[in-house]
Structure 1
Amino acid sequence: MTTVDFNYSLSNMTKTLKPFAIKLTKDHDDANDLLQETLMKAYNNREKFAEGTNLKAWLYTIMKNTFITNYQRMVRRGTFIDTTDNLHFINSTSTQIENRAAGNFALRDINTSIEKLDDVYKIPFMMYFRGFKYHEIADRLEIPIGTVKNRIHIARKQLKEKLRTYRA
């Protein structure tokens, strides 16, 4: 395919590529940029296009891959586009340091509250917490399944009461 034929085919495809670009970007200006970038890549790599294959599919693939690459690049940078008149890229990551002290206090209080539970309630509750099913707990403790459910319910209720300071 000659360069002139290729350019003519590209110009005919812009009308079919534009809706796909809008679907990907959800914005007309970004869609125009994506379309332009796709056509530039296709033109610069025209020698890679095998004549007789589907040009439309080739262009759709270029557009999709360009969109994904641009999206991943933006996510990696951790930036967002400021839509004010000056259009600067602003770094959106904050320099906030978390020392997890509050989480450590809460975890210690939770563990203390669990330890203070009566063994009758604590054992089924911890077994359930570790992933045992109700019927497995009932079998191991040799008690009815209804009793297992009741004891876990009571344990939750007591823990909820003891840990009410952590309610949101």
Structure 2
Amino acid sequence: MTTLEFSYSLNKLSKTLKPFALKLTRDMDDANDLLQDTMVKAFTNKDKFADGTNLKAWLYTIMKNTFITNYQRMVRRGTFVDTSDNLHFINSGSVVIENDAFGEFAMKDITKAIDNLDDVYKTPFMMHYKGFKYHEIADKLDIPIGTVKNRIHIARKLLKDELQVYITKN
């Protein structure tokens, strides 16, 4: 195969290689770089390609091996790659130390919210929180099981409304 024919074949197959590069890298810019590296390696090693064999499979192998080599090099360097949109976490350590202040504020607010509940709702809610089953609460308080479920549901709803500031939205 002449150099011109080889170049033409590479150019034709480059469009079919791009989805594979994107699958490997999961990033368009990195996929383009991987595709370019693959084409450069293929062209510089065209003398190693045997005529009559599958050029597409040869290119896929070069791309896969190039990706693996680049990945191993990156791991050896210990490079941290942040793929998130928020670059705030670049160079952050894997260990986060918190001082529990937020937890203490939250517990105080939760305790206060539970204390502010009417006893009709607080008693079944706290019993359920402590591990009692619905039927055990119903027997102990001498009320129907449906009433127990309803009061626990209302208590949860009231607490959710009271503690709205602690509910995270995704």
Query: TM-score, normalised to structure 2's length?
Result: 0.48
Query: TM-score, normalised to structure 1's length?
Result: 0.49
